[in-house]
Every structure is written in structure tokens, then in C-alpha cells.
Structure 1
Amino acid sequence: MTHINISDSSPVSPAPSVAGASTCPRERPQSQGVDRSLRPQNAFTSFRPEEQNNTEVVAQVGSTARIRCYTHFLGNAMVTWTKSDEELLLTVGERIYTSEPRYFISHVRHRKLWELSIRDVRAADAGAYECQVASHPLAALFFLLRVVEARAVVPDGAALHSRAGVRLRIQCQVDLATEPVSHFFWYHNGTAINFSKTRSLTVVTHDYCSYVVIENVTWADSGVYTCAPLRARPANLTLHVLQDEQRSALHKGRAHGDSARAVASVLSPAPPAWLLVACLVGARPSC
């Protein structure tokens, strides 16, 4: 079975299933844009129709899937697209025959190309598609659309410990993406930090990965960081900032004292009702 990836832009090779640290080089900050130079692909431009049959097309949720049917050696015959596993008629020639507005047909005559596009791909769009050519005899080419859901992966795991005063890099990568990620949205305790002017940090992104650089880690940097790539499931990481021994001991001492006072206030028995009445009428001046 032939295997290709189709996405919003020119097709590219998919990202590794789980990229290593080397796949996230130090690049310019996200605010300056992303390098999305893509290599053009000429798949099927010279293939005979039978060489396209049973091609698998991979698209990720939220992207645009493009299924390309070339009719070389079949003349200028009209093409009908159907979702064959559901017996659903989609297009006849350049006319759409479904009420679903996400479908679009493109006919490039000089390339003998009939391209079916499905915008905002959903998991339910996966399945078998048929490109039927009205030639004599009739010719039919079958394509299998596989839909994947990209997801963010934090290589450091769910928790990260760091000392205060150091320079820290929190990294995030995307697994199962069929195209480079144009935007990574970062949050700290639910607040967006990509372009924060009050924090000493920088967000850097490159193709399938992104990272946050904190120049001087402080206690305020602790908490939950969320990496939310566009069209991918987000991932969380909790940063624990370790203070110096003196401050840590002081913090623990205060916490212990506060806890003791809280326990004491909870466990102290309430005064009986007769004592409260006596205090109110002045019978017990020591209240």
C-alpha cells in the first residue's frame, strides 16, 4: 500500500512519533515567526492510475485532507467521488452533492488531477474513498483516509524540579503531527505567557517543538505550565522551585506554625451556652 501524508500546505514527511531533544534546536523567538520552508512533492504526477490504487492518506484532526486522483491515460473523463464505506455520494464532476460544507473539489485540467479536499478533518472522516472515472470501461481508484490526533509531549514528564536563580528551559514536542505546528500556546497557571512583558522568559518554537526559557528562576515561577500546540492535544508540567536551605527551613517553620494554629482552633471546644449567657449579663467579668 502506498503511503503519503496530506496537510494544509505542501505535503511533508511526518514528525517522529516522539522526537528527542535534538529535534528542538535553538531558534528565533515565536514572535518573529516560524521557518516553514517546505519541500515540494511531485507524488503521482507521472503515475499510471493503477499505481495510485489503495493509497493511504494521513491527516490530523483539524487540518485539511487532500485526496488526489490523477487520470493520466484516461483522457478527460469526468470523475465522481464517493465515500465508499458509507455509500455516500460526494461530488460529480465539479459539483458537490453533499450538504456537508467541509467538502471541496478541485480540477486541474492540464495535470489530469481531481482533488477532493476535506476541511477541518474529524475522526469520523476516516475511511475508504473512491475516485470513479467515467471512462470506457469505467475505472475506479480507491483511497484510504487515516485520521490521527496530534498531541503534545513534555519530555521532562509531569513534574520538574529546579533550584532558584538558575536558567531553565521547559520543552514541549508534538507527537503524531502530519505537518509543522504553526503556533504553540503556553500558559502558566492558566495565564498566557507567550508575549508576557512582566516575566523574564522567552518562548521559542520550531516546526514540531517549542520551549520556554526562564532566565532567572524564582519562587513565582513555580506552578503548572501548559503547552497547547495548535490542532493538538495539550500537555501539562508542574514546576517545583527549590529554595535555599535557610529560606526553605523558614518556609517549613511558618507552614508548621500555621498548621498548628489551624489545628488548635479547630480542636478547641466551644464554650457552653450557659457560659455565654453569663458573660453577656456580666455575671462572669473574666470572660
Structure 2
Amino acid sequence: MRALKSGVTLTTYLLLTLCCCGFCVAEYRPPWMRGEVSGPSGVPTVLHNQTKVQQQEEGRNNEKREKQRPRLLSRRYSRLVMSKGSTVTLNCSVEHAGDVLVSWSRGEDLLTVNKLRYTSDDRISPLHEVSSRDFNLRLSNAQHNDSATYTCRVATQPEQVAKVSLDVRDANAVIFGTYEVSVAAGGTLYLLCLVLEVYDIPEYILWYHNARIIDYTNPNINVIIEEATRSCELQVRHMNFTDAGNYTCQPSNAAPATTVVTVFKDTGRKKGRTQKCDDCVLFLQLGATFAFFTLSFVIAFCCHARRQHLTMPWRRYSLSDDVYLPPDYCDKIL
């Protein structure tokens, strides 16, 4: 009976021990789950790795947001010179604009905001299309009082600004040569018109003869326009006395220029003498140039020979490259 009680007691202790061990095992967590293993900065390894992953994710998100942030692409400052009466477009490009407000102002005066105009000046108009990154400002028929600094502002934090300094100048045309031009009857008239102080291509350049527009369809008239140089050449063949008078060059964006053309009667003999005289002048110029260089060479050669003769007088007796020494010269040395 005593042995039975001892066995029951032992069994009870064993059961209690197993229960306690099971509870402890259930509550036990490995060190890597409890965060007891420290990283390089004293932070548990698991937490350190999680923090690092979160920081990388936040960095990528910030970089993505920064790329999608409205960014001004235009130059911060530029200068533009144009002629009076011209039309100019000021550019302001914004990447990823979205719903941000982009405005143009002149000094303290607000001109436009996005596609809306806030000025009573009809010459100013905003140019912007939906989903376009260009917020441009167009100014037509520019005048001297339009010379100012125009500012494009992007309403971000911080604000992004681009400035354009506009300078409006007077443009004028000039006919190359003298004020009066003389042409022989039956000859060809050549007039070259240059447009100065103009920075945009003229829409047209007209020629007038005594306040009358010249007919470009006339087979004796030829007009050549060079857009790159802003010039226009007028050629009138077989000139007669009725073609004399005032010739005016009128560009679309510059003040006109006028020259007076006279037609005189000429003979073939006079023309031949003139051509022969021109040939003689050219020949004389070439001959004078050749004579000048020849004379300079001869003088330089003579001066060099004279210098050698004075410093070493015995060289005149030498018949080869060996130097000839006179006997008295050798006695002096000895």
C-alpha cells in the first residue's frame, strides 16, 4: 500500500513537471525572434534590417516624388532683342506641371496665369495647351515701351522663376552704295537693300518706283531675297529713260530706304575705253606689287653681302669653301 502511494505521488510530480516544461516551451522564443542579437549599431538584427528596408523604400518614394515634382526647364535669365512692330513669343517650359499655376508678369503687373489673361492689352496672349509643358507668352506689334523684364513664375515651394529681358529697337533699311546711282541706257540696274537692327525675318520686302510698286512679273525685273542676311537685291535689265526716278525699299518690319537713279546716254566707244582703263589699272597694281618685292629682295641681298665683305675681306680671294688666310695675317698670329 505504501509502495502504491509512492508511485502515485511520483506520477503526479512527473505530470506537473511535464506541464511546467510544456508551458515554458510554449513561451520560449529563439533569440532572433526576440531581437536579442544586436546589429552593428546596437540595434537588434531583425529591427535593424527592417529599418534599413524601410529607409530604402522611403528613399525610393522620395526620389520618385522628386522626379514627378514640377520643374522649370527654361533658362533662369535670357535677353532678347527685337525690332519695333515685330511679334515675339517668350518661352517658359515646366516639366510635370500638373495643376501647378504658371504666371507671366511684367514688373509688378500680372499678365497671364496658365491660359487666362489678366491684362487689358490685346497684343498679349497666353499660349498653353492641355498636357503641354509650354506656358508661352506672345507679344504682337512690339513698341518701345514694351522693353522690360518679363518673369515666368512657377507656384512651387520654393518658387521657381525664369526672367526674359526684352529690348525693342528701331529697325531701318539701307540701300547699299551712294544716295544717287547712275546707269547707262540699255544697261542693268543693281540695288541691294539691307535690313538693319532687325532680329526676325521680314514677312515681305517691297520695291517702289516713284511711289508705285514694281511689277515683279516683268521679264526685265529680277528680285532675289536672302532671309539669312535680311537682304533683297533688285535687278532691272535694259534700263531706259523712263526707269529713272526714286527707288524705295520697304520691309515689313523696318523703316524704308530710298535712292535716286538717273539714266544717261552712253556709247560703245566710251564703254570700251572705260573697260580698257580698268584693265590698265589692274595691270599697274600687279606690276607695282611685283617690283616692290623684287627690289626688297635685291636690297636685302646686297646689304648682307656688303656686311660679309667688311668683316672678312679675304673671303673675296676664296675659290672654295676653304678659308684663305694671307701670309701677313699668319705672321701676326704667330
- Pair in the same fold by TM > 0.5: yes
Of the three residues 74, 84, 89, the one matched with 1:61 is 84
Q: Is residue 2:62 matched to residue 1:70?
A: no
Equivalents in 1 of 2:103, 2:169: separation in Å? 26
Aligned to 1:243: 265
Q: Is residue 2:243 matched to residue 1:221?
A: yes
Q: Is residue 2:214 matched to residue 1:193?
A: yes
TM-score normalized by the length of structure 2:
0.54
2:223 maps to amino acid: V
Identity %: 27
Query: Do 2:248 and 2:256's aligned partners in 1 also have CA atoms closer than 8 Å?
Result: yes
Hey, which of these two has a bigger chunk of helix by percent? 2
Equivalents in 1 of 2:256, 2:177: separation in Å? 15
Query: Do 1:185 and 1:194's aligned partners in 2 also have CA atoms closer than 8 Å?
Result: no
Equivalents in 1 of 2:136, 2:225: separation in Å? 32
| RMSD, aligned CA | 2.3
Equivalents in 1 of 2:154, 2:208: separation in Å? 50
Equivalents in 2 of 1:79, 1:92: separation in Å? 6
Following superposition, the deviation at residue 200 of structure 1 comes to 3.8
What is the DSSP-based 3-state SS (H/G/I as helix, E as strand, rest coil) of the residue aligned with 1:124? helix
Following superposition, the deviation at residue 50 of structure 1 comes to 7.6
1:100 maps to amino acid: D
Equivalents in 2 of 1:146, 1:108: separation in Å? 28
Aligned to 1:89: 110
Equivalents in 1 of 2:189, 2:127: separation in Å? 49
Query: Do 2:74 and 2:91's aligned partners in 1 also have CA atoms closer than 8 Å?
Result: no
Equivalents in 2 of 1:220, 1:65: separation in Å? 42
Of the three residues 215, 222, 247, the one matched with 1:202 is 222
The count of residues paired between Structure 1 and Structure 2 equals 195
Aligned to 2:234: 212
What is the DSSP-based 3-state SS (H/G/I as helix, E as strand, rest coil) of the residue aligned with 1:120? coil
Q: Is residue 2:183 matched to residue 1:151?
A: no
Of the three residues 192, 200, 208, the one matched with 1:179 is 200
Equivalents in 2 of 1:51, 1:192: separation in Å? 44
CA offsets 1:71-116 (integer angstroms, 9 cap, x no match): 23766521121101xx211112321111111111122454522101
Query: Do 1:72 and 1:112's aligned partners in 2 also have CA atoms closer than 8 Å?
Result: yes
Hey, which of these two has a bigger chunk of strand by percent? 1
CA separation of 1:50 and 1:71: change in aligned 2, threshold 3 A: closer
When Rg is computed on C-alpha atoms for both structures, the one with the higher figure is: 2
Gapped regions of structure 2 (runs ≥ 5) = 1-70, 268-334
* 1:274-285 matched pairs, under 5 angstroms: none
* 1:41-56 matched pairs, under 5 angstroms: 49=72, 52-56=75-79
1:174 maps to amino acid: V
Q: Is residue 2:119 matched to residue 1:112?
A: no
What is the DSSP-based 3-state SS (H/G/I as helix, E as strand, rest coil) of the residue aligned with 1:166? coil
Of the three residues 109, 124, 135, the one matched with 2:145 is 124
Of the three residues 155, 166, 174, the one matched with 2:187 is 166
Equivalents in 2 of 1:68, 1:75: separation in Å? 18
Greater RCO (Cα-Cα under 8 Å, separation 6 or more): 1
CA offsets 1:148-204 (integer angstroms, 9 cap, x no match): 33221111131112211112221212112222223111111111113475x843333
1:220 maps to amino acid: T
Query: Do 2:73 and 2:94's aligned partners in 1 also have CA atoms closer than 8 Å?
Result: no
TM-score normalized by the length of structure 1:
0.62
Query: Do 1:152 and 1:174's aligned partners in 2 also have CA atoms closer than 8 Å?
Result: yes
Equivalents in 2 of 1:53, 1:68: separation in Å? 11
